Structure 1
Amino acid sequence: KDPRSFIREQTRIKPVPHAEEIRLHVADEAMELWQKTEDELGALGLPPPFWAFAWAGGQALARYILDHPEIVRGKMVLDFASGSGLVAIAAMMAGAKHCRAVDIDPFALEAGRLNAALNDVAIDFENNDITTGPAPAVDVVFCGDVFYDRPMAAHVLTFIDRVLASGTLVFIGDPGRSYLPKERLDHLATYTVPVIGALEDAEVKKSSVYRFLPLR
């Protein structure tokens, strides 16, 4: 099995709708690709192919980073649950010193590497769950679209609090998903973002960027 060849065969190169400076390998049809991924690996119950789309929260973060490069310029950055690598790519294009992109899906690892090469940036991609370890030694952490279900939200929140306690800034990109901890967020910007209707129940969504606030 060759994930890189599979990704090339099942996606097309397109500019990101709300960050057209960046191009990604993206799929047109979510459910069909999900089925093909399971067939390719000979396994059922795999997670959705998050790596194959530019999600609303990631697009908002990418746009904000590109428009406000001072938040990453010369800094060490982590893109948590990186998916396609969109946010990591935006950070490097905006002048980050180094970016580590982490995701638990091995397909995201290969998709991210392909997308980084496509945009001529160098990123360290890692297939790993870092939520139970020590806070990463970086200056800024970005989290896009991570509050989509209750267990995931609770798990991520514990990780974010550990990151904040270490003195690291955390930025969130989210279109207002059900488990977003709004009381902990400092709103920075809102964008109207084109999305895949079959994935998001709409063709366009309002997606916002926030700075995550420490516990008081």
Structure 2
Amino acid sequence: MTPRGIADPAAFIRAETQRLAPPLVPEITLHLAEESLPIWQRTEEELGEIGLPPPFWAFAWAGGQALARYILDHPETVRGKRVLDFAAGSGLVGIAAMKAGASRVACADIDRFAHAAIAANAALNGAALDVLTADVVGSEGGWDVVLAGDIAYERDLATRVFAWLEALAAGGVEVWIGDPGRSYLPRAQLEKMADYAVPVSRELEDAEIKATSVWRPKPR
């Protein structure tokens, strides 16, 4: 039997989320899970059988919130530029970039439920976003700015992604990273640009307020 919602990710998202504003970015409304445990259990039960990843798209993670806040407060970061929101999840950072005046924003994620979440959230906020469904790591893409929130939580992934981001930065692309103290952030290669105290769910994190920073590669 086909698990409920598999054929229609958009319907699954509508059924399992609420329209909520991330605490640090109240200007933006997203389809988010009000509680983490029920949707995590639903996706494990209904979607895990076919190998889909956990519902990262259903939450406004601390790194993404901090990066979105920074962009909205410093619109010159993206104004008039072609922007990639990498590992976009809900599309929060990409929506912030559009609101801050980016000329074009692409949101990249390999999870097809994230694709539906990005489209739904873009419509909710009146933002025109391109959705990239392929793995973009290693590509050049023609972007002026790459934004990446909360990507240093797994060793192999972080090694691969940061090598790519470093190469992009060396080629003149502006790279901005939001991170709440994950283990595999290569701090020695980065300079800190801002600090935030981000309200988060204790069900997802180890605290109710997560100290989170915005970083960029050190200039060479």
Is the shorter-chain TM-score for this pair beyond 0.5, marking a shared fold?
yes
Q: Does 1:152 align with 2:177?
A: no
Given the two structures, how large is their TM-score scaled by the length of structure 2?
A: 0.93
2:44 touches 2:54 (CA, 8 Å); kept in 1? no
Question: Where in structure 2 are the equivalents of 1:6-155 lying within 5 Å?
Answer: 6-41=12-47, 43=49, 46-132=52-138, 134-155=139-160
Larger strand proportion of the pair: 1
The DSSP-based 3-state class of the residue aligned with 2:203 is helix
2:72 touches 2:100 (CA, 8 Å); kept in 1? yes
How far the C-alpha of 1:172 sits from its partner, in A, is 0.4
The DSSP-based 3-state class of the residue aligned with 1:66 is helix
How far apart, in 1, do the equivalents of 2:194 and 2:93 lie?
A: 16
How far apart, in 2, do the equivalents of 1:201 and 1:44 lie?
A: 30
Given the two structures, how large is their TM-score scaled by the length of structure 1?
A: 0.94
Q: Give the aligned partner of residue 3 of structure 2.
A: none
How far apart, in 1, do the equivalents of 2:48 and 2:127 lie?
A: 33
Residue-pair matches, total:
214
For structure 1, the 5+ residue unaligned runs are none
- Superposition CA RMSD, Å: 1.4
Q: Give the aligned partner of residue 209 of structure 1.
A: 214
How far the C-alpha of 1:193 sits from its partner, in A, is 0.6
How far apart, in 1, do the equivalents of 2:91 and 2:207 lie?
A: 23
The DSSP-based 3-state class of the residue aligned with 1:34 is helix
How far the C-alpha of 1:213 sits from its partner, in A, is 2.5
